Amino acid sequence: MTEHLTDLDAAVDWLFARVEGPLRVGAPLALGKPHRLLNALYSRVEGDPSRPLQLYTALSLNPPQARGDGLEARFMAPFVQRHFGEDFPRLAYADAIARDALPPHVEVEEFYMQSGALLGSRQAQSSYTSLNYTHAADAVAQRAPQVIVQKVAMRPDDRRLSLSCNNDITQDTLDAMAARGLPRPLLVAEIDPQLPYLGGTATVDVSFFDLVITPPPPY
């Protein structure tokens, strides 16, 4: 039965109660990531070596930041504010990667990255996996994630959710894991009211997920 929560820390507790030891987590590339849940999870494991975390994903995108206060900053500041808003949650683990500051017990393996954005990050370069998109789902299945997290859209008074972003990766990964005889991972959704609702094969029943989180704003 699908469980529902609004508190992100409670969602991390829920995960920890169901997964012992190291955590292997899959997350969609780019915009399909549940930023708030991933930040809550990273905050919990960052200082706890007893809970190693392996995250399999791609394109961990954060709003760009200008260097200095010159022309670049004067152009970028209003653009970022209008495009992302003033309170868009940055991915804490992505900021740590950019500084080469991931703790030793946290590994983030990505198969796509922003070209040139992480040239100075040893951690990003050493954990990069070169993959064709066609092979991404099978590659994630090989890692046998215990948890897959996904940002979803929901219409009012609707029992169906939209995976919206790169829904094929999530669904194909589940198929690839089943084909390998691996157990179905826990599926966790984070609802974002501002995410576009896409229909067709991107829609699933609420019962598709083991846990659905409706966090408070910002979104």
Alpha-carbon distance 41 to 9, whole Å?
8
Give Cβ neighbours of residue 201 (< 8 Å, ≥ 6 apart).
Answer: 167, 168, 171
pLDDT score for 166: 85
Alpha-carbon distance 58 to 65, whole Å?
20
The helix (H) or strand (E) run that includes residue 142 is: helix 133-142
Domain that holds residue 73: 3-213
Alpha-carbon distance 80 to 18, whole Å?
38
pLDDT score for 215: 93
Q: Would 209 be classed as within a structural domain? A: yes
Q: Would 48 be classed as within a structural domain? A: yes
pLDDT score for 65: 83
Q: Would 148 be classed as within a structural domain? A: yes
Q: Would 167 be classed as within a structural domain? A: yes
Q: Would 27 be classed as within a structural domain? A: yes
**CATH, residue 168:** 3.40.1080.10
pLDDT score for 64: 85
Q: Would 80 be classed as within a structural domain? A: yes
Q: Would 218 be classed as within a structural domain? A: no
pLDDT tens digits, the chain, 219 residues: what are they?
899 999 999 999 999 999 999 999 999 998 899 999 999 999 999 999 999 999 999 999 998 888 888 898 898 888 888 888 878 899 999 999 999 999 999 999 999 988 788 888 899 899 999 999 999 999 999 999 999 999 999 988 788 999 998 889 999 999 999 999 999 999 999 999 989 999 999 999 999 999 999 998 876
Count: domains in the chain: 1
Alpha-carbon distance 136 to 141, whole Å?
9
* Contact predicate 213/5, CB 8 Å: yes
Q: Would 219 be classed as within a structural domain? A: no
